[in-house]
Amino acid sequence: MANSLVYVSDQDPGIRRKRAGRGFSYVGPDGRCLTGAARRRVEKLGVPPAYSDVWICLTEDGHLQATGRDARGRKQYRYHPDWQSAQASTKYAGLITFAMALPALRARLTRDLRHAPGGRDFTVAALVLLLDRSFLRIGNPEYAVQNASFGATTLLRRHVRIGKDRVHLDFTAKGGKRLRQVLRDQKLHRVLQTVGDLPGRQLFTYVDADGAPRPVTSGEVNDWLATVMGEGVTAKAFRTWGGTLAAYTYAETLPPETRLTVKAMAQAASDVLHNTPAICRSSYVHPAVLELAALEPAERQRTLATVLPTGLRGLRADEQRLLSFLQSTEKNR
């Protein structure tokens, strides 16, 4: 379990990987090469051969097992499986809190979107509204420059087209995938139409106190979310909520006699998030929803039939049912 792990850092003494012929040798702090079981343990970590500056934890109970630099010089991490599981549980445990805070967030958006267009409050609110409706990644300026891949904060004006009654998104997302999305939402349509008329190459740009244009950053968005929804909430929570909602809705709408599969629910989340089904299954769908696949069709239908909307104003009926389901499974654990 995670509580039996030791918190470590790659600044601690560790094992270094060195090129040796066509393979590698692994050298401990004492200068000796690893052999036998010790060597097999580090090889099982699967650190890619292309990584440089590789550090490996001396023991198998470290929460961080290895780090290295990829071909672009970015630091990559290999964590202990128990640590990853604990982190995932913490993330999903916060999903109920996130859902219950959504009405307050949406009310705050309504207020902030009454502010003057071009100001920081209006522009940050416009971006968060897009996250709430589209579940986009938040975006990273480094990826935009190096990979020409974009997210919400780095969208350019050319990536968004405002139609008669819908919004068209068309851009290259993380991993080089082209993302095309059509959003039919009157409020978002109106807000993005206003944002699109403002100056700046990036879509979400506001004018600061000195009169200079300034793109909204992911840090500003996450600070805003923490203030409105509670400490620890970040933009990624929208994607977890969106993926879980897509999987749950798929389960709800499946014909009663049809067997539900994890693969199909992961695909439903993938269609919304534009991640691979495997990533959606491991990172963006609450385990309690995936567990519905273990039930026989009749039992699944009985379980879902007992789920009633919470009545929480500010959530759609499908969101209320998902929240009610998650709350009921949490009580039964």
Kindly report the CATH number that applies to the domain delimited by 236-332.
Answer: 1.10.132.120
189 CB contacts (<8 Å, ≥6 apart)? 162, 165, 166, 167, 183
Asked whether the beta carbons of 226 and 236 are under 8 A apart, the reply is no
What are the tokens at 268? Answer: 């439903």
Options 1.20.120, 3.30.70, 3.30.66, 3.30.160; CATH of 2-79: 3.30.66
- Outline which parts of the chain fall under CATH 3.90.15.10: 113-229
What mean pLDDT is predicted for residues 281-297?
A: 93
Query: Has residue 62 got a pLDDT over 80?
Result: yes
The CATH number that domain 113-229 falls under is 3.90.15.10
**CATH 1.10.132.120, the chain: domain bounds:** 236-332
pLDDT of residue 166: 94
pLDDT digits (tens, 9 = 90+) for 127-136: 999 999 999 9
Please report which confidence band the pLDDT of residue 303 belongs to, taking 50, 70 and 90 as the band edges: very high
Question: Which has the higher per-residue pLDDT, 149 or 3?
Answer: 149
Amino acid 333: pLDDT? 59
Confidence of residue 120 (pLDDT cuts 50, 70, 90): very high
Cα gap 222→232, rounded to integer Å: 9
Q: Do residues 127 and 141 lie in contact, with contact meaning Cβ atoms separated by under 8 Å?
A: no
Mean pLDDT, to the nearest integer, of 286-299? Answer: 94
- The pLDDT tens digits of the residues spanning 64-103 come to 999 999 887 878 889 898 887 776 666 687 899 999 999 9
